[in-house]
Structure 1
Amino acid sequence: MGLFSRKRKGSAQTLRAAPAVAPSAENADALADGALDTLAHALRALGTPPLRLEGEDPAAFRATCEMLARHVLVAAPIERPAKGDARDEAAGAESALGGSGRNWKHIRHFITDRRRAEVSHVDDHVGGLKVAIWDLVTGLQTMAGGGKRAQTRIERSVNALERAAAGDSLGQLRAAVGAAAFQIKNALEEQRKQLETEMAALGEKLADLRAELVEARREMSLDPLTQLNNRGAFDEALVRFVQLACLGAQPLALLMIDLDHFKYVNDTYGHPTGDKVIVATANTISMTFPRKGDFAARYGGEEFAVLLSDVDEAQARPLAERLLDKVRKLRVKTDTADEPIDLSCSIGVAVLGRGEHPKELVARADAALYRAKHDGRDRAVLADPPRINL
């Protein structure tokens, strides 16, 4: 892994001792490069939105973001969208698509239009939820109204029956009894049918809404690139796993995993290759920890986290070593190099202590991961025991 190492140009003491100098052209260029890198990173992050818009091809949108990121970094040409596309109008006649310059106006419009589309998407779904709620309220009001009308018809029939019973005509009484029975039966049948119809309609709407919400929640809990659980899902699962481990007096292990020299891969081979490395590592993690009780997540960037229920320190270390070995055997092909990329990772391992808070468990695993990096990478390090609060 020496291939990935870089020499530092100066120590922290040297940097602090350096006298203040006026900004140079080199500093200005570095500042500009940093700004371009940041904007390109933001565009690529925009290409993996947690919300999937209706009628949108995620792969096509991600490709568009990558195209714009390359346009920002190296002034690569911007492919003209289909005629009539909002992005085509937003570009403006005065700014040519492609060329050696950078079309800032097009990028501003692209980001603004995207944010508006996402806001509109969320508003539409929230509006649909409100409509369903009002439909439910209206349905309940209609059901109550229907019950009152049926009750009024029944009461009128009963009153007519009482009047007939007070009279002397047997025929009038017989007719009133028959009419009352008919009215009561019809009123109850009408109410039953109305309730069945309205309940069926409400049931369909609620079933559709429930399915949409379940799917939306599932999508929002997954990382779009790797299809592992995302950071938000991990934070929720961590609290659950810690609570269950404490209740059942069972061990719980946490592995914090970070790819070694990932920045070098991105800088040398490009972000598409970096994404391949991320996906390959995620797949390897999933295959290494296939139990139903295991929980793997993309923690952020090139970092992953795995919760292993009912696994103590003696078991966690060999499992981490097994993952290290599998990652070492990964070979990721690139479009720019003849030989595939060799990979490695560093792992911090922590086992839950008695009464330990979830954040403390993560902090200990992170500290162990830092030591693994500091000690040379491509290794697993066990965390220090938790502090005992007296």
Structure 2
Amino acid sequence: MFWKKDPPAQGGSARTKRDSGDEALDSLGLVLRVLGEHAFDTDRLEARDVRELFEDWSSRVLIGGRGEEKGRDWGGLRRFVTEHRREESEYVRRAVGDLREAVQSFARCVTRGMTADQDDDSGLRVQCARLSQAAETNDIELLREQAARMVDLTSRALERREARHEQHVQILSEQLRKLQSELSTARESAARDPLTKLYNRAALDAQLERLVDLGQLLGKPPCVMMVDIDHFKALNDTHGHVMGDNALREVANCLQRSFLRKEDFVARYGGEEFSILVLDCDEAGAERLTQRVLEAIRQISIPAGASPIRPTVSVGLAWLQRGDTPATWIDRADAALYRAKHSGRNRAEISPREVVAPLGEERRGSLRPQGTSQGSARRVSQRPEGSP
């Protein structure tokens, strides 16, 4: 009959189920990776180790090809996630408990101090009443006795109060030092990228704001370098995300070692891109800095089977200019970076520097790029196209 429909093909139903299963595996792998990305230190493991464990489990979930169960340990995954969540919960509960104990200790000190002060004040009020009564009797001996007792009670009350206050200050100082240490550690951890241990994007944004505000007061303008790992997507696709993370850590460590001054600021901008803020940088210094970065990264060798990975980077540098915001400053460095990328990678481009004439001189021609024509840029440490 025309209203009867043919049953669906068996192959189509199986294919739909297989596609749904693959999508579920992809989603589970992504969830595990995200959990690792936002891990924090616990008593047993550092955040970096936790991230690696979650990355490993994410890979094991997807191992063996689509639709295959080989290599997947679902029971082990459940035990790992359950145990890790328990460790995180205990760590947070204890950290909150330490804070609660500090607050309660403060409250106890205040309460005990107030109670003891009230007891002393009550005794002094009673003695004041007795002294007043003695004054009304015109009995000199009684008046002298009550006055002496009043002086004695007042003196001892003041001594006890001073001793209590010193003890309370000592207790509270110890609690505050402990809290300050924990808060400092937490603040530093919050400002760090969990994978590379460099400053994170939020810390970078705050530092950019500070330098933009203070830039006009500095003797030489600060500069920002944007550093991007060349062909990073191909590295990830060829060697996997674990090896990609290793490359990010190696490059981050290399950059950190290359900029050791206290005022230098090295951060992970995002993905495979890094930012470096350097104070009092002139043209010659910019040439040296970009050369230092390129040469240092070229020395990295990451074991990967028969052929080690030898990453390279492209670099863009820009100075802070008058009227800049953090966004416009970064944009110029990014533009220089992409010129380096489009020119063959494994090299650096330096944006022209704005030169401002000293106050009192003619403004005519006071804004010009130093050492180059307007709109041009210098290329640093170019290597042959066939170099690694």
**TM-score for both structures, normalised by structure 2:** 0.74
Equivalent residue, structure 1, for 2:229: 259
Whether 1:68 aligns to 2:57 is: yes
Contact 1:253 1:350 survives alignment (8 Å): yes
Measure how far apart 1:104 and its partner are. Answer: 6.4
Provide closer, same or farther for how the CA distance between residues 352 and 209 of structure 1 changes in structure 2, counting only shifts above 3 A: same
Q: Against the structure 1 CA distance between its residues 280 and 350, is the aligned structure 2 distance closer, same or farther, given a 3 Å change threshold?
A: same
Q: Is the 8 A contact 2:48 2:195 kept in 1?
A: no
Q: CA deviation at 1:257?
A: 0.4
Deviation, structure 1 residue 266:
2.5
Per-residue CA deviations over 1:32-54 (Å, capped at 9, x if unaligned) read 87875665355344335453234
Match of 1:349 in 2: 317
Shift of 1:306: 0.1
2:287 is equivalent to residue 317 of structure 1: yes
* Bigger mean CA deviation after superposition, 58-67 or 258-267: 58-67
- Counterpart of 2:357? none
Deviations 1:216-259 (A, max 9, x none): 11122222333222222212111112222223353111101011
What is the alpha-carbon distance in structure 2 between the residues aligned to residue 147 and residue 136 of structure 1? Answer: 16
Among 173, 189, 207, the residue aligned to 2:159:
189
Contact 2:48–2:194 (Cα < 8 Å) also in 1: no
- Match of residue 188, structure 2, among 215, 218, 230: 218
User: In the TM superposition, what are the counterparts of 1:125-144 in structure 2 within 5 Å?
Assistant: 125-126=95-96, 128-129=98-99, 132-133=102-103, 135-144=105-114
Q: Is the 8 A contact 2:316 2:351 kept in 1?
A: yes
The two structures, once aligned, show a CA RMSD in angstroms of 3.6
- Whether 2:158 is the aligned partner of 1:177: answer no
Q: 1:246 to 1:142 in 2, by over 3 A?
A: farther
Mean Cα deviation higher: 286-295 or 134-143: 134-143
Alpha-carbon displacement from aligned partner over 1:59-113 (angstroms, at most 9, x marks no partner): 653443133112122149xxxxxxxxxxxxxxxxxxxxx9527566875786687
Farther-moved stretch of structure 1 (216-225 vs 56-65):
56-65
Cα distance between partner residues in 2 of 1:100 and 1:266: 23
Aligned AA for 1:332?
I
Check conservation: 1:153, 1:184, Cα contact below 8 A: no
User: Which residue of structure 2 lines up, in the alignment, with residue 299 of structure 1?
Assistant: 269
Cα distance in 1 for partners of 2:231, 2:24 equals: 22
C-alpha contact 2:269 2:275 (8 A) present in aligned 1:
yes
3-state DSSP of counterpart to 1:74:
coil
Confirm or deny: 8 A CA contact 1:313 1:351 kept in the other structure. no
**Which stretch of structure 1 is more off in the superposition, 176-185 or 206-215?**
176-185
What is the distance in 1 between the residues matched to 2:40 and 2:25? 26
8 Å contact kept, 2:224–2:333:
yes
- d(CA) in 1 for partners of 2:225 and 2:21? 38
Residues 245 and 309, structure 1, Cα contact 8 Å, conserved in 2: no
1:374 and 2:342 are equivalent in the alignment: yes
Structure 1: runs of 5+ lacking an equivalent: 1-22, 77-97
1:299 aligned counterpart, secondary structure:
strand
Q: Quick check: 2:200–2:269 contact (8 Å CA) kept in 1? A: yes
For residues 5-42 of structure 1, the C-alpha deviation after alignment (integer angstroms, 9 at most, x for no partner) is xxxxxxxxxxxxxxxxxx9x999999987875665355
Instruction: Say yes or no: does 1:200 pair with 2:170.
Output: yes
Q: Deviations over 1:162-214 (max 9, x none)?
A: 32233344443343233223322222222223222222222222221111111
- 5 Å matches for 1:1-390? 39-40=28-29, 42-56=31-45, 58=47, 61-75=50-64, 100=70, 102=72, 118=88, 121-122=91-92, 125-126=95-96, 128-129=98-99, 132-133=102-103, 135-248=105-218, 250-334=220-304, 337-383=305-351
Residues 270-315 of structure 1: per-residue CA shift (max 9 Å, x gap):
3333233222212221232222221111222321110011113453
- Residue 246 to residue 340, structure 1, CA distance change in 2 (3 Å): same
Distance 1:37 1:155 in 2: 77
Q: What's the counterpart of residue 378 of structure 2?
A: none
Q: How far 1:380 sits from its partner (Å)?
A: 0.9
CA shift in 2, pair 1:36/1:317, >3 Å: farther
**Is 2:32–2:58's contact at 8 Å kept on the other side of the alignment?**
yes
Quick one: which amino acid aligns to residue 324 of structure 2?
E
Identify the range of structure 1 (316-325 vs 269-278) with the bigger mean alpha-carbon deviation.
Answer: 269-278
User: Which structure 2 segments of 5+ residues have no match?
Assistant: 1-11, 355-366, 368-388
Please give the alpha-carbon distance, in whole angstroms, between the structure 2 residues aligned to 1:150 and 1:28: 81
Shift of 1:319: 1.4
Query: Match for residue 3 of structure 2?
Result: none
